[in-house]
């Protein structure tokens, strides 16, 4: 009588069967807190037979966890040397002295832009750069025209007038060709 108890009744019920079927399709969540307790309890020999067998099976497939258990057992019986005072002081500083068991948050990176003088200096700098760029552009432009006006020979001027489209429109080339 498959799936039935010795008295013919269903010992587990269809809900348990469904739960079992469902559980086999679910991937186990990694609950680290539970895992630490399992491993520590196993190392201390405090688990019941079922949990001992369960954790032993897990350790068989996780060599790092098995090494942790071995190390925990060894350290429980070993005399450890005192920690370096620098390590202790650093660890002490993690919890704020004034606020009970409050963990100190590391200060965020300093935001220079938040300071008012920096903002004013930044805008002033930008304005000065615009003024300087405008003046340089004007000055260079003036120099260019002065250069054009003074450095050209009369032949260049004539040639320029020939090439320049505006004078060509206005000038009457027939003037000198009259007979």
Partner 1 sequence: MDGGDPLAELLAGGRRSWDGFVRRYAALIVAAVRGVAAGSGDIEDLTQEVFVRLCKDDFRLLRSYDATRASLSTWLTIVARSTARDALRRRRPDSVSIDLVPEMHLKIDAVEPVPKLKLPEALLSPRQREIIGMLYDGEMDVAEIAAALGIDRQTVRSAHHKAMLKLRAHFKADMG
Q: Which lies closer to partner 1 via its Cβ, residue 96 or residue 156?
A: 96
First to last CA, the chain: 135
- Per-residue x/- track, 66-105, partner 1 (CB under 8 A): -xxx-xxx-xx-x-xxxxx-xxx-xxx-xxxxxxxxxx--
Kindly state the smallest distance separating residue 138's Cβ from partner 1, in Å. Answer: 56
User: Binding to partner 1 by residue 33, rule CB under 8 A?
Assistant: yes
By the 10 Å C-beta count (0-12 exposed, 13-18 middle, 19+ buried), 105 is classed as exposed
Residue 39: CB atoms within 10 A of its CB come to: 19
- Count of residues engaged in binding partner 1, rule: CB under 8 A: 73
Kindly state the helix (H) or strand (E) to which residue 92 belongs, with its residue range.
Answer: helix 85-92
Q: Which stretch binds partner 1 (CB under 8 A): 2-10, 115-123, 135-143, 152-160?
A: 2-10
Contact status, residue 72 vs residue 39, Cβ threshold 8 Å: yes
Q: Which lies closer to partner 1 via its Cβ, residue 18 or residue 164?
A: 18
User: Binding to partner 1 by residue 59, rule CB under 8 A?
Assistant: no
Footprint on residues 3-32 left by partner 1 (CB under 8 A) = 3-6, 11-12, 16-17, 19-28, 32
Q: How far is CA 145 from CA 132, 142, 152, in A?
A: 20, 5, 11
Kindly state the smallest distance separating residue 109's Cβ from partner 1, in Å. Answer: 19
């Amino acid at each position: 009588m498959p799936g039935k108890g010795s008295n013919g009744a269903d010992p587990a019920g269809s809900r348990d069967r469904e739960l079992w079927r469902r559980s086999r399709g679910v991937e186990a969540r990694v609950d680290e807190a539970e895992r630490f307790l399992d491993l520590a309890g196993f190392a201390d020999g405090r688990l019941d037979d079922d949990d001992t067998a369960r954790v032993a099976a897990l350790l068989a497939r996780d060599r790092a966890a098995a090494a942790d258990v071995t190390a925990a057992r060894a350290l429980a019986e070993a005399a450890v040397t005192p920690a370096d005072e620098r390590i202790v002081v650093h660890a002490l500083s993690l919890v704020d002295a004034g606020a009970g068991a409050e963990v100190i948050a590391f200060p965020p990176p300093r935001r220079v832009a938040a300071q008012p003088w920096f903002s004013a200096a930044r805008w002033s700098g930008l304005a000065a750069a615009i003024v300087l760029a405008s003046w340089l552009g004007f000055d260079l432009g003036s120099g260019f025209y002065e250069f054009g006006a003074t450095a050209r020979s009369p032949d260049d001027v004539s040639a320029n007038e020939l090439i320049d489209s505006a004078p060509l429109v206005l000038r009457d080339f027939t003037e000198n060709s009259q007979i």
